[in-house]
Amino acid sequence: MRFHLPAYVHLPASERYLSCAFTQKIVKLSKMLLSLGHEVFIYGAESSDTPCTKFVQTHTLKDIRDAWGEGDNRFELGYDWKTKGFKHDFNTERTTTTKKFYANCIKAINENKKPDDFLLVMQGYYHKPIADKVGLYLTCEPGIGYRGSYANFRAFESSYIQNFTYGSEHPKQCIKGKYYDRVIPNYFDPKDFTFKDKKQDYYLYMGRLISLKGIDTAIKATKALGKKLVLAGQTLEVKLEPHCEYIGYADLEKRKELMANAIATFTPTIYLEAFAGVHVESMLSGTPPITTNFGVYPETIPDYLNGKVGFRCNTLQDFVNAGKEAMNVDNKFVRKYAERFLMDNVKLEFQKWFEDLYKVYESTQDKTKLGWHRIKGK
């Protein structure tokens, strides 16, 4: 099969931008598709280095700097993204750079496409102008962890975001499910994690350092525990207590070290998380996450494993108790459970979905070929 994958405008498609979860999904999705024997065409910014069959440059680093740069030549983006976070126009008027990206994507994909190719839309309505002009039947959204999806074929990161999306689109209605939509979890590269059974004497918070991510809960719980809380992230927007240590942006090697050595990782997000990759990354390091009790977490930390691979909490006392109990979990069991989210496992779910979709496409081209009704051997 052949896949066309427009990347993001504001960043090169590269592992360098580790803290952009959506960019990393592009990198890993391309790797998975290549490992399955497919062809992958990526369209994006200069200096992208994601493995693929063919890369098509749609805009330059100068275009990115013109749109969002601050004249800081230490960074190819023109600003210090390690302390300020990434700049984009997802929720604002589209920049000239984005319009250039759209136009060049459309032109290149239309020149390269075949009728049975897949177009992978990674950001819903933001990438819709490309999809509308390309017009491939097999247009899919393969990793919906955001609001604003629209495609006919959609894979969601969790059942929560799937049902939230359906409910938002059809309020106060009896909603029918869609056989060709799927729930496929986020996916992770084993090389990015180190397992350690013996932990050091600290707890970890890693991610956006904002109240909605539950940072205040992590601070209060670790203060009550009388333990050190190490915090890593691009921006700091809250006041820290004396028991907290803020280390700033953590690159890949630092992240490995921090996650592997922590007693537990706090991910007590207040809003409803679509997936919350950090808590799975923590589990892949053998470190249990301490989470809230809504959004994706009841799926990734199911009832029968609550307290064994992670902890879902409601009150501050629950968070404190979880911090104590985390010292006694079987860290090897935590890691073993989390391996279900590794790329080599999740890619098989994608393969099944794409095969099912391809049969639907075939049924539209040849009336003798069944789609949903097709039975193997008949």
State how far the alpha carbon of 369 is from the alpha carbons of 333, 362, 375, 376, in Å: 46, 7, 11, 12
Residues 101-117 have pLDDT tens digits of 999 999 999 999 999 99
In whole angstroms, give the CA distance from residue 266 to residue 282: 9
Helix (H, G, I), strand (E, B) or coil at 210: coil
Distant-in-sequence, close-in-space partners of 336: CB < 8 Å, separation ≥ 6: none
Binned at pLDDT 50, 70 and 90, residue 166 comes out as very high
Binned at pLDDT 50, 70 and 90, residue 182 comes out as very high
pTM over 0.75? The answer is: yes
In whole angstroms, give the CA distance from residue 199 to residue 193: 15
Which pLDDT score is estimated for 238?
Answer: 80
CB count in 10 Å sphere of residue 304: 8
End-to-end CA distance of the chain: 23
Residues 280-304 have pLDDT tens digits of 999 999 999 999 999 999 999 999 9
In this structure, are residues 248 and 223 in contact, taking their beta carbons and an 8 Å threshold? no
What CATH number belongs to 191-340?
A: 3.40.50.2000
Binned at pLDDT 50, 70 and 90, residue 84 comes out as confident
What's the average model confidence in pLDDT over 227-256? 92
Share of the chain above pLDDT 70, in %: 100
In whole angstroms, give the CA distance from residue 205 to residue 266: 5
CATH of 2-187+344-365, one of 3.40.50.300, 3.40.50.2000, 3.40.50.2300, 3.30.70.1290: 3.40.50.2000
Distant-in-sequence, close-in-space partners of 303: CB < 8 Å, separation ≥ 6: none
Does 2-187+344-365 match 191-340 in CATH topology?
yes
CA of residue 29 relative to chain centroid, distance: 11
- Edge-first strand order for the sheet with 138-144 is 54-59, 39-45, 2-6, 118-120, 138-144, 153-156, 182-183
pLDDT(377) > 90: no
What's the average model confidence in pLDDT over 41-50? 97
- Per DSSP, what are the bridge partners of residue 3? 40, 118
pLDDT(305) > 80: yes
Residue extents of the structural domains in the chain: 2-187+344-365, 191-340
Which pLDDT score is estimated for 257?
Answer: 97
What's the average model confidence in pLDDT over 260-283? 97
